[in-house]
A = this chain, B = another copy of it.
């Protein structure tokens, strides 16, 4: 299957760039269940509504990437490539989008260029129309390979600005990153607020400032999580200021740590200059089916907390605090959480204000825990933090604190080139190592990203154990937060 079902460019321009109609990207099959259901929605749960979703007329649907790939092989015993093929078949009229973490692809470390290139090519060949790529540090060099390859295969490539709040993340910072992304040839720009920090006035200002940078024809799309309760207001204000598309989820999987509800935004924009043109009754029909699917499966989203006040007071998402608490608990030191929450922004400042998203959230969080528990700051600095401080994850938004850099550098200079330039090609080794199990180029790529988990999956597949769904874990909420800790929200 190599044909792209939907022209990833022309209709997008028609639907957003040249009129004020706002495009809707539905995230139900990717980010929504990743955020509310520990990424446990199965392909079987998607199929009963897929063809109806296809007919809604969304600008696009995000259905692949993020943590869904890992979850498929790790927890669901599903082949993620098969899911993509099935969804492509069921949804021939809708642009399918994937989220990719730049040079990290769908994993948690940088991969060599040959793996990145092959992975992007196979993703498009199997049905992806739109590639949304981001880097945790907004280091455009980490997005370059995904952008180039996406363009080469004729996909629509969306560059991403990861939004955070810090003294160095001013409008100028985002304008500079956007300028670089545009120069690399992106087809549209996404503002990604994974932590629910984007206030409506800031959203409006950002869109207004970015418009001259990206030009009038290049669409700007908003991606936000509702955990602080601000996302829908940020969408509204961004749209007034010229944003062309928003990410939403069908209501049973909306709000809280997921996106604003699709139905709400469709009704809100109806009869305004920004009308989405979507049919609310068709959406309600799909929503009721999805609600029934989860009810029947006994895995309805857990909604104890809709507003995460910890984001509002500390700018730290509850999922990250849960991880810190788990680390403290192992040392019987959970009573020291408040100290860690005070140390966290200090570490983040020393580290040059990285946005807190995988993997920087784990690196900064662990360092803050160690600084508190050791009774002396930076007495222990883990290997990942050392790599980060030496530039091996990319360029921090702001220079590293001098005292800290000297401590880890031991006379060495930080690397200033693109980190992946140091990586040996990965295809041949992956091909050799996965030979006992792999039956396709896709299998080899699965192995290249997740050697250990892929091997377990391949063995289980060989034992024909896969098709069966594992029992749903009882402590879903905990798993959910753990997974969110490791995987981009």
Contact = CB atoms under 8 A, between A and B. Distances in A.
A263 interface: yes
Given A199-B267, A306-B254, A312-B264, A233 B232 contact: yes
Contact of A264 (B230, B260, B304): B230
B228 A267 contact: yes
Contacts of A272: 201
A23 B264 CA distance: 26
A350 interface: no
Interface string A279-316: 01101100110000000000010011011011011000
Contacts of A284: 309-310, 312-313
A307 B229 contact: no
Contact of A280 (B263, B288, B312): B312
A236 interface: yes
B255 A306 contact: yes
Given A232-B229, A236-B237, A251-B307, A313 B200 contact: no
A74 B300 CA distance: 34
A454 interface: no
Contacts of A251: 229, 306-307, 309
Interface string A210-243: 0000000000000000001110110111000000
B267 A230 contact: yes
Protomer copies: 2
Contacts of A300: 304
A230 B228 CA distance: 15
A106 interface: no
A268 interface: yes
Contacts of A199: 267-268
B307 A261 contact: yes
Contacts of A312: 263-264, 267, 280, 284
A312 to B, nearest CB: 5
A259 to B, nearest CB: 11
Interface in A51-87: none
B307 A264 contact: yes
A236 B236 CA distance: 9
A110 B310 CA distance: 46
A232 B271 CA distance: 19
Contact of A254 (B263, B287, B307): B307
B264 A229 contact: yes
Contacts of A261: 229, 306-307
B236 A307 contact: no
User: Which of A256, A271, A287, A313 lies at the interface centre, i.e. has the most chain B CB atoms within 10 A of its CB?
Assistant: A313
Nearest to A235: B233
A199 B288 CA distance: 23
Interface in A10-49: none
User: Which of A261, A264, A287 lies at the interface centre, i.e. has the most chain B CB atoms within 10 A of its CB?
Assistant: A264
A233 B230 CA distance: 9
B309 A268 contact: no
A235 B268 CA distance: 13
A53 to B, nearest CB: 15
A27 to B, nearest CB: 15
Contacts of A309: 251, 263, 283-284, 287-288
A396 B283 CA distance: 34
A260 B268 CA distance: 16
B229 A280 contact: no
A160 to B, nearest CB: 24
A303 B254 CA distance: 13
14 contacts: A200-B268, A229-B232, A229-B251, A229-B260, A233-B233, A233-B268, A254-B306, A261-B306, A263-B309, A264-B307, A264-B312, A283-B309, A284-B312, A288-B309
List the 10 shortest-distance A-B pairs measured between CB atoms, nearest first: A229-B264, A251-B307, A284-B309, A233-B236, A261-B307, A284-B313, A303-B303, A267-B312, A229-B261, A263-B312
Given A232-B232, A267-B312, A284-B309, 10 more contacts: A229-B254, A230-B232, A255-B307, A261-B306, A264-B312, A280-B312, A288-B309, A300-B304, A303-B304, A306-B306
